[in-house]
Amino acid sequence: MTERILVVRLDSDGDVLASGPAIRAAAAGRDGDPADVKILCGPSGRQAAGLLPGIRQVIEWPCPWIMAEPPQVSSADVGALVERLATERFDAALLLTSFHQSPLPTALVLRLAGVREIAAISPDYPGSLLDHRLRPGVDMDDDQPEPLRALEVASRAGFGLPPGDKGDLRVTPPPDVRATTGEGPYVVMHPGASAPARAWSPLRCANAVTALHQDGHRVLVTGSSSERELTSYVAGTDGVDLGGRTTYPILAGVLARADALVVGNTGPAHLAASVGTPVVALFAPVVPARRWAPFGVPVRLLGNQDAACAGSRATRCPIHGHPCLNSILPRDVVAAVNSLVRKH
Protein backbone atom coordinates (compact mmCIF):
# COMPACT_ATOMS: atom_id res chain seq x y z
CA MET A 1 0.00 0.00 0.00
CA THR A 2 1.36 3.43 -0.97
CA GLU A 3 2.24 5.55 2.04
CA ARG A 4 0.89 9.08 2.23
CA ILE A 5 3.61 11.46 3.44
CA LEU A 6 3.35 15.12 4.41
CA VAL A 7 6.45 17.31 4.31
CA VAL A 8 6.08 20.54 6.29
CA ARG A 9 8.17 23.65 5.59
CA LEU A 10 6.33 26.81 6.54
CA ASP A 11 8.74 29.68 5.82
CA SER A 12 10.17 31.11 2.59
CA ASP A 13 11.17 30.00 -0.91
CA GLY A 14 14.83 29.46 -0.06
CA ASP A 15 13.91 27.29 2.92
CA VAL A 16 11.55 25.23 0.78
CA LEU A 17 14.19 24.76 -1.93
CA ALA A 18 16.66 23.56 0.72
CA SER A 19 14.12 20.90 1.67
CA GLY A 20 14.17 19.41 -1.84
CA PRO A 21 16.55 16.50 -1.13
CA ALA A 22 14.50 15.44 1.92
CA ILE A 23 11.35 15.59 -0.19
CA ARG A 24 12.89 13.34 -2.84
CA ALA A 25 13.92 10.92 -0.10
CA ALA A 26 10.32 10.85 1.14
CA ALA A 27 9.02 10.32 -2.40
CA ALA A 28 11.35 7.33 -2.81
CA GLY A 29 9.46 5.74 0.06
CA ARG A 30 10.44 3.14 2.58
CA ASP A 31 11.35 -0.44 1.69
CA GLY A 32 11.52 0.43 -1.99
CA ASP A 33 7.88 1.47 -2.38
CA PRO A 34 7.41 5.03 -3.75
CA ALA A 35 5.30 7.30 -1.56
CA ASP A 36 2.60 9.86 -2.26
CA VAL A 37 4.08 13.16 -1.01
CA LYS A 38 2.32 16.46 -0.35
CA ILE A 39 3.87 19.58 1.14
CA LEU A 40 2.42 22.02 3.65
CA CYS A 41 4.05 25.42 3.10
CA GLY A 42 3.48 29.10 3.77
CA PRO A 43 2.54 31.78 1.23
CA SER A 44 6.16 32.91 0.88
CA GLY A 45 7.26 29.37 0.00
CA ARG A 46 4.44 28.49 -2.35
CA GLN A 47 6.14 29.31 -5.64
CA ALA A 48 9.25 27.29 -4.78
CA ALA A 49 7.17 24.33 -3.64
CA GLY A 50 5.49 24.30 -7.03
CA LEU A 51 8.84 23.63 -8.73
CA LEU A 52 10.12 20.78 -6.54
CA PRO A 53 10.28 17.23 -7.93
CA GLY A 54 8.56 14.56 -5.89
CA ILE A 55 5.58 16.62 -4.70
CA ARG A 56 2.10 15.65 -5.86
CA GLN A 57 0.23 18.53 -4.23
CA VAL A 58 0.96 21.80 -2.42
CA ILE A 59 -1.14 22.79 0.61
CA GLU A 60 -0.69 26.42 1.61
CA TRP A 61 -1.21 27.79 5.10
CA PRO A 62 0.00 31.04 6.74
CA CYS A 63 1.49 29.81 10.02
CA PRO A 64 1.20 32.28 12.92
CA TRP A 65 4.30 30.94 14.72
CA ILE A 66 6.62 30.87 11.70
CA MET A 67 5.86 33.80 9.37
CA ALA A 68 7.88 37.01 9.71
CA GLU A 69 4.66 39.04 9.61
CA PRO A 70 2.31 36.55 11.24
CA PRO A 71 -1.48 36.57 11.27
CA GLN A 72 -3.29 36.31 14.59
CA VAL A 73 -3.82 32.81 15.92
CA SER A 74 -7.41 31.79 15.26
CA SER A 75 -9.09 28.65 16.55
CA ALA A 76 -11.27 28.62 13.43
CA ASP A 77 -8.24 28.83 11.14
CA VAL A 78 -6.26 26.17 12.98
CA GLY A 79 -9.36 24.00 13.21
CA ALA A 80 -9.93 24.26 9.47
CA LEU A 81 -6.34 23.17 8.84
CA VAL A 82 -6.73 20.21 11.20
CA GLU A 83 -9.87 19.14 9.32
CA ARG A 84 -8.16 19.61 5.95
CA LEU A 85 -5.17 17.50 6.93
CA ALA A 86 -7.31 14.86 8.62
CA THR A 87 -9.05 14.12 5.31
CA GLU A 88 -5.67 13.15 3.81
CA ARG A 89 -5.00 10.41 6.40
CA PHE A 90 -1.26 10.89 6.29
CA ASP A 91 0.84 7.98 7.45
CA ALA A 92 3.83 10.14 8.34
CA ALA A 93 5.10 13.71 8.37
CA LEU A 94 8.57 15.20 8.05
CA LEU A 95 8.40 18.46 9.99
CA LEU A 96 11.27 20.63 8.77
CA THR A 97 12.33 23.76 10.66
CA SER A 98 15.34 26.05 10.91
CA PHE A 99 17.52 25.99 14.02
CA HIS A 100 15.66 28.90 15.62
CA GLN A 101 12.14 27.51 15.10
CA SER A 102 10.27 25.10 17.34
CA PRO A 103 8.46 22.24 15.58
CA LEU A 104 6.20 21.52 18.55
CA PRO A 105 3.22 23.82 17.83
CA THR A 106 3.00 22.41 14.31
CA ALA A 107 3.47 18.88 15.62
CA LEU A 108 0.43 19.41 17.86
CA VAL A 109 -1.64 20.43 14.83
CA LEU A 110 -0.47 17.37 12.91
CA ARG A 111 -1.24 15.07 15.84
CA LEU A 112 -4.74 16.53 16.13
CA ALA A 113 -5.14 15.85 12.40
CA GLY A 114 -4.39 12.19 13.00
CA VAL A 115 -0.92 12.02 11.47
CA ARG A 116 0.36 8.75 12.87
CA GLU A 117 4.12 9.27 12.67
CA ILE A 118 5.96 12.59 12.99
CA ALA A 119 9.69 13.31 12.71
CA ALA A 120 11.43 16.59 13.59
CA ILE A 121 14.45 18.22 15.20
CA SER A 122 13.65 19.50 18.68
CA PRO A 123 15.88 20.58 21.58
CA ASP A 124 12.77 20.62 23.80
CA TYR A 125 11.03 17.62 25.31
CA PRO A 126 8.18 16.74 22.88
CA GLY A 127 6.10 14.40 25.02
CA SER A 128 3.88 12.42 22.67
CA LEU A 129 4.07 14.98 19.85
CA LEU A 130 7.03 13.36 18.04
CA ASP A 131 7.75 9.75 17.15
CA HIS A 132 11.22 10.49 15.74
CA ARG A 133 13.10 13.24 17.59
CA LEU A 134 16.59 14.46 16.77
CA ARG A 135 18.27 16.53 19.48
CA PRO A 136 20.65 19.19 18.14
CA GLY A 137 24.21 18.55 19.22
CA VAL A 138 23.28 15.13 20.63
CA ASP A 139 21.74 13.05 17.85
CA MET A 140 23.05 15.22 15.04
CA ASP A 141 25.38 18.06 14.09
CA ASP A 142 23.07 21.06 13.99
CA ASP A 143 25.76 23.27 12.47
CA GLN A 144 25.59 21.91 8.91
CA PRO A 145 24.06 22.99 5.57
CA GLU A 146 20.29 23.19 5.75
CA PRO A 147 19.65 20.54 3.05
CA LEU A 148 21.71 18.01 5.03
CA ARG A 149 19.90 18.94 8.22
CA ALA A 150 16.55 18.21 6.54
CA LEU A 151 17.87 14.92 5.17
CA GLU A 152 18.68 13.85 8.73
CA VAL A 153 15.00 14.19 9.63
CA ALA A 154 14.04 12.06 6.63
CA SER A 155 16.64 9.47 7.54
CA ARG A 156 15.46 9.22 11.15
CA ALA A 157 11.98 8.39 9.82
CA GLY A 158 13.40 5.70 7.52
CA PHE A 159 13.60 7.58 4.22
CA GLY A 160 16.72 7.68 2.07
CA LEU A 161 17.65 9.18 -1.27
CA PRO A 162 17.11 6.84 -4.22
CA PRO A 163 20.12 5.29 -5.99
CA GLY A 164 22.03 7.84 -8.05
CA ASP A 165 20.58 10.86 -6.21
CA LYS A 166 23.51 12.82 -4.75
CA GLY A 167 21.33 15.07 -2.61
CA ASP A 168 21.79 18.26 -4.62
CA LEU A 169 19.14 20.97 -4.90
CA ARG A 170 16.84 20.54 -7.89
CA VAL A 171 13.74 21.97 -9.52
CA THR A 172 11.67 20.71 -12.41
CA PRO A 173 13.17 21.66 -15.81
CA PRO A 174 12.61 25.39 -16.37
CA PRO A 175 11.12 26.80 -19.59
CA ASP A 176 13.04 28.17 -22.55
CA VAL A 177 13.65 31.82 -21.68
CA ARG A 178 15.66 33.05 -24.66
CA ALA A 179 12.82 35.39 -25.60
CA THR A 180 13.47 37.09 -22.24
CA THR A 181 17.25 36.87 -22.01
CA GLY A 182 18.25 37.10 -25.66
CA GLU A 183 21.02 34.98 -27.08
CA GLY A 184 24.57 34.91 -25.79
CA PRO A 185 26.14 34.63 -22.33
CA TYR A 186 25.28 36.82 -19.37
CA VAL A 187 25.66 37.31 -15.63
CA VAL A 188 22.65 38.00 -13.40
CA MET A 189 22.62 40.65 -10.67
CA HIS A 190 19.75 40.28 -8.17
CA PRO A 191 19.93 43.34 -5.88
CA GLY A 192 16.90 42.74 -3.66
CA ALA A 193 16.72 40.63 -0.51
CA SER A 194 14.01 39.37 1.81
CA ALA A 195 15.49 41.44 4.67
CA PRO A 196 17.30 44.81 4.37
CA ALA A 197 20.20 43.51 6.50
CA ARG A 198 20.99 41.01 3.73
CA ALA A 199 21.04 43.49 0.84
CA TRP A 200 24.07 45.22 -0.68
CA SER A 201 23.43 48.93 -1.20
CA PRO A 202 21.72 49.89 -4.49
CA LEU A 203 24.63 52.21 -5.36
CA ARG A 204 27.18 49.40 -4.95
CA CYS A 205 24.99 47.09 -7.02
CA ALA A 206 24.71 49.68 -9.79
CA ASN A 207 28.47 50.31 -9.74
CA ALA A 208 29.09 46.55 -9.93
CA VAL A 209 26.83 46.29 -13.00
CA THR A 210 28.91 48.99 -14.67
CA ALA A 211 32.17 47.31 -13.64
CA LEU A 212 30.99 43.94 -14.97
CA HIS A 213 29.87 45.56 -18.22
CA GLN A 214 33.23 47.27 -18.63
CA ASP A 215 34.92 43.91 -18.05
CA GLY A 216 33.01 42.40 -20.96
CA HIS A 217 30.02 40.79 -19.27
CA ARG A 218 26.40 41.27 -20.32
CA VAL A 219 24.43 41.81 -17.12
CA LEU A 220 20.73 41.08 -16.54
CA VAL A 221 19.15 42.58 -13.41
CA THR A 222 16.26 40.67 -11.85
CA GLY A 223 13.69 41.47 -9.20
CA SER A 224 10.02 41.23 -8.36
CA SER A 225 7.32 43.60 -9.61
CA SER A 226 7.60 45.50 -6.30
CA GLU A 227 11.33 46.03 -6.96
CA ARG A 228 11.06 47.66 -10.39
CA GLU A 229 12.38 51.00 -9.17
CA LEU A 230 15.37 49.24 -7.64
CA THR A 231 16.14 47.09 -10.69
CA SER A 232 15.80 50.05 -13.04
CA TYR A 233 18.28 52.05 -10.97
CA VAL A 234 20.75 49.17 -10.65
CA ALA A 235 20.58 48.27 -14.36
CA GLY A 236 21.12 51.87 -15.46
CA THR A 237 22.43 52.03 -19.02
CA ASP A 238 24.94 49.20 -18.63
CA GLY A 239 22.56 46.39 -17.64
CA VAL A 240 19.29 44.90 -18.87
CA ASP A 241 16.39 45.51 -16.50
CA LEU A 242 14.17 42.44 -16.03
CA GLY A 243 12.45 43.75 -12.90
CA GLY A 244 8.88 42.46 -12.70
CA ARG A 245 9.25 40.43 -15.91
CA THR A 246 10.10 37.03 -14.45
CA THR A 247 7.63 34.63 -12.88
CA TYR A 248 9.31 32.11 -10.62
CA PRO A 249 9.62 29.44 -13.35
CA ILE A 250 10.95 32.09 -15.75
CA LEU A 251 13.46 33.25 -13.12
CA ALA A 252 14.61 29.64 -12.77
CA GLY A 253 15.15 29.56 -16.52
CA VAL A 254 17.03 32.87 -16.52
CA LEU A 255 19.32 31.61 -13.77
CA ALA A 256 19.81 28.24 -15.45
CA ARG A 257 21.27 29.94 -18.56
CA ALA A 258 23.40 32.41 -16.59
CA ASP A 259 27.17 32.14 -16.24
CA ALA A 260 26.83 33.24 -12.60
CA LEU A 261 24.48 34.99 -10.20
CA VAL A 262 25.48 37.91 -7.95
CA VAL A 263 23.06 38.00 -5.02
CA GLY A 264 22.64 38.44 -1.28
CA ASN A 265 21.51 35.76 1.12
CA THR A 266 18.00 35.42 -0.26
CA GLY A 267 15.81 32.99 -2.16
CA PRO A 268 17.25 33.36 -5.70
CA ALA A 269 20.66 32.23 -4.36
CA HIS A 270 19.11 28.85 -3.60
CA LEU A 271 17.16 28.84 -6.86
CA ALA A 272 20.45 29.32 -8.72
CA ALA A 273 21.92 26.38 -6.80
CA SER A 274 18.85 24.35 -7.77
CA VAL A 275 19.60 24.86 -11.49
CA GLY A 276 23.37 24.36 -11.13
CA THR A 277 24.49 27.97 -11.58
CA PRO A 278 27.56 29.31 -9.70
CA VAL A 279 26.87 32.05 -7.15
CA VAL A 280 28.75 35.12 -5.95
CA ALA A 281 27.15 35.40 -2.53
CA LEU A 282 27.09 38.85 -0.91
CA PHE A 283 26.51 37.21 2.43
CA ALA A 284 25.61 39.20 5.55
CA PRO A 285 26.57 37.07 8.57
CA VAL A 286 23.30 37.64 10.44
CA VAL A 287 22.79 33.91 9.80
CA PRO A 288 25.70 31.47 9.46
CA ALA A 289 27.05 30.98 5.94
CA ARG A 290 28.03 27.40 6.79
CA ARG A 291 24.31 26.68 7.12
CA TRP A 292 22.81 28.97 4.51
CA ALA A 293 25.33 29.55 1.71
CA PRO A 294 24.11 28.18 -1.67
CA PHE A 295 24.46 24.41 -1.56
CA GLY A 296 26.12 22.10 -4.06
CA VAL A 297 27.42 24.64 -6.61
CA PRO A 298 30.63 26.71 -6.85
CA VAL A 299 30.29 29.73 -4.54
CA ARG A 300 32.42 32.80 -3.91
CA LEU A 301 31.47 34.16 -0.51
CA LEU A 302 31.93 37.92 -0.06
CA GLY A 303 31.29 39.91 3.09
CA ASN A 304 32.85 40.08 6.54
CA GLN A 305 31.65 36.90 8.26
CA ASP A 306 33.16 38.02 11.58
CA ALA A 307 31.26 41.34 11.74
CA ALA A 308 29.59 42.35 14.99
CA CYS A 309 26.17 41.40 13.60
CA ALA A 310 27.21 37.74 13.12
CA GLY A 311 24.52 35.32 14.24
CA SER A 312 22.13 38.08 15.30
CA ARG A 313 19.38 37.15 12.81
CA ALA A 314 18.77 40.89 12.45
CA THR A 315 16.46 41.87 9.61
CA ARG A 316 17.79 45.44 9.63
CA CYS A 317 21.48 46.11 10.05
CA PRO A 318 22.19 47.12 13.67
CA ILE A 319 25.54 48.73 12.79
CA HIS A 320 25.89 52.13 11.15
CA GLY A 321 27.00 51.94 7.52
CA HIS A 322 26.25 48.22 7.07
CA PRO A 323 29.98 47.42 7.08
CA CYS A 324 29.69 43.64 6.65
CA LEU A 325 28.43 44.15 3.07
CA ASN A 326 29.42 47.69 2.19
CA SER A 327 33.06 46.75 2.70
CA ILE A 328 32.64 44.81 -0.58
CA LEU A 329 33.73 46.82 -3.63
CA PRO A 330 32.54 46.42 -7.23
CA ARG A 331 36.01 45.21 -8.23
CA ASP A 332 35.65 42.40 -5.67
CA VAL A 333 32.49 41.25 -7.43
CA VAL A 334 34.18 41.37 -10.84
CA ALA A 335 37.08 39.29 -9.54
CA ALA A 336 34.70 36.78 -7.95
CA VAL A 337 32.63 36.45 -11.12
CA ASN A 338 35.74 35.97 -13.22
CA SER A 339 36.98 33.25 -10.88
CA LEU A 340 33.78 31.33 -11.60
CA VAL A 341 33.23 32.15 -15.26
CA ARG A 342 35.34 31.33 -18.26
CA LYS A 343 35.38 34.50 -20.35
CA HIS A 344 33.70 34.02 -23.72
Q: Residue 114 above 50 pLDDT? A: yes
210-236 pLDDT, tens digit each? 999 999 999 999 999 999 999 999 999
158-202 pLDDT, tens digit each? 999 999 999 999 999 999 999 999 999 999 999 998 888 888 999
pLDDT at 187: 98
Domain 178-340 class in CATH: alpha beta
33-42 pLDDT, tens digit each? 899 999 999 9
Residue of 8 and 196 predicted with greater confidence: 8
Which amino acid makes up residue 280?
A: V
pLDDT, average across residues 325-340: 95
96-105 pLDDT, tens digit each? 999 889 999 9
Contact 67, 42 (CB under 8 A): yes
Q: Residue 344 above 70 pLDDT? A: no
User: One fold for both 4-156 and 178-340?
Assistant: yes
Which CATH architecture group holds 4-156?
3-Layer(aba) Sandwich (3.40)
pLDDT at 272: 98
Q: Domain residues of the chain, as ranges?
A: 4-156, 178-340
236-263 pLDDT, tens digit each? 999 999 999 999 999 999 999 999 999 9
pLDDT band at 343; cut points 50, 70, 90: low
The predicted model scores a pTM of 0.95
266-313 pLDDT, tens digit each? 999 999 999 999 999 999 888 888 999 999 999 999 988 888 787 778
pLDDT band at 24; cut points 50, 70, 90: very high
Containing 134, the helix (H) or strand (E) segment is strand 132-134
CA–CA distance from 173 to each of 23, 87, 165 (Å)? Answer: 17, 32, 16
Closest CA to 246 of 211, 261, 40, 212: 261
Distance, in Å, from the CA atom of 54 to the CA atom of 62, rounded to the nearest integer, reads: 22
